[in-house]
Amino acid sequence: MTTLPERTSELVIDVEDLTKRFDGRTVVDHFSMQVPRGTIYGFLGPNGSGKTTTIRMICGLLTPDEGRGTVLGHDIRTQADLIKREVGYMTQKFSLYEDLSIEENLDFVARMYAVPGRARKVEDALANLGLTSRRKQLAGTLSGGWKQRLALAACLIHDPKLLLLDEPTAGVDPSARRDFWDHIHDLAHEGITVLVSTHYMDEAERCHSLAYISYGKLLAHGTTRQVIDEAGLSTWEIEGGDLMELAPRLRAMPGVEMVAPFGTALHVSGTEREALAKAVATVASRDGVRAREVEPSLEDVFIHHMRDAGESARPEA
């Protein structure tokens, strides 16, 4: 689990009670967030939970209906243009020109930001992301991993102080994801702040802090350790026996909130520790079934938050 960097005095993102509605539907509901400089802040939640809308309010692309805040010291309502110039935003969908080469795309972005010494900056961007040998290749012919590198290079070409990355590794192979995260940690070490939304629990654990949002509401935030501890979950791992037969039996027992397959085992979780232990003991008495209490995983915790929120967190139509 990644530890928080020491330089945490300067808040790069400081927003409070952000609210956004579309056609009378509340998409983001009084959301607050504080992110110190040099922090990698993970932003998690199910599809449609309001993550992208929140990111767009933070970077000045959307004006909140309610709430206040600053990003890089600029007011999100009145100084959106200043925020945009100091932020690198990487969208979920590849948004560069597929009929231009890697080099042409980077040069175009540098022109948009009026980057001084543009030619040198493009060369540096190509070298830093390992793109030099492919500089003439059309963006549309790149694989997912190479498109990701190009998109990140484009985000960085104007030397932003804050990166907003919206599910940047979706559809990218594990090796490319690891390379990407190594680079993100290098950037954070240099003082760049990163807000990244992700569905991957291994990526979430590489963040310094996390926020979990569901139906526009903040349900949990803190370091990975804090988020796990504050959930108050107990988890047991069950192996052996007929797991497909055991799972529905366990789900019907008092104290059992979640039963999820994990490889050749079941993770059984709940917030009522004694009741859960009794339920597990009932099935563990059978021949060939082994049970042991384990530490809840981050995935256990976020499934718990999703199910605990349920319909109560869903805004009225």
Give the whole-number percent of the chain exceeding pLDDT 90: 67
pLDDT of 5 above 80: no
Taking alpha carbons only, the member of 89, 309, 300 closest to residue 205 is 300
User: Distance (Å, rounded) from C-alpha 225 to C-alpha 221?
Assistant: 10
pLDDT of residue 314: 47
C-alpha 51 chain-centroid distance? 9
Distances (CA, A) of 111 to 122, 147, 249, 302, 316: 10, 20, 63, 42, 45
pLDDT of 93 above 50: yes
Strands 234-239 and 209-214, sheet pairing = unpaired
Instruction: Pick 286 or 185 by higher pLDDT.
Output: 185
pLDDT of 317 above 70: no
Mention the CATH class of domain 11-228.
alpha beta
Instruction: Yes or no: say if 280 and 247 are a contact pair by the CB < 8 Å rule.
Output: no
Of 22-31, 131-140, 280-289, 294-303, the range with the lowest mean pLDDT is 280-289
Instruction: Yes or no: say if 75 and 14 are a contact pair by the CB < 8 Å rule.
Output: no
User: Distance (Å, rounded) from C-alpha 96 to C-alpha 223?
Assistant: 34
Instruction: Pick 316 or 206 by higher pLDDT.
Output: 206
pLDDT of residue 315: 43
User: Distance (Å, rounded) from C-alpha 144 to C-alpha 167?
Assistant: 13
pLDDT of residue 12: 96
- pLDDT tens, residue by residue, 292-316: 999 998 888 988 887 776 644 444 4
pLDDT of residue 65: 96
pLDDT of residue 309: 65
Instruction: Pick 142 or 243 by higher pLDDT.
Output: 142
**Fold designation for 234-295:** Alpha-Beta Plaits (3.30.70)
DSSP string of 137-197, one letter each residue = SBGGG--HHHHHHHHHHHHHTT--SEEEEESTTTT--HHHHHHHHHHHHHHHHTT-EEEEE
Instruction: Yes or no: say if 228 and 296 are a contact pair by the CB < 8 Å rule.
Output: yes
pLDDT of residue 310: 60
Taking alpha carbons only, the member of 232, 274, 237, 239 closest to residue 253 is 274
pLDDT of residue 9: 56
Averaged pLDDT, 6-28: 86
pLDDT of 247 above 70: yes
Q: Domain ranges in the chain? A: 11-228, 234-295
Task: Specify which residues 293 forms β-bridges with.
Answer: 236
Instruction: Pick 214 or 171 by higher pLDDT.
Output: 214
- pLDDT tens, residue by residue, 251-289: 999 999 999 888 889 999 999 999 999 999 988 877 788
pLDDT of 116 above 90: yes
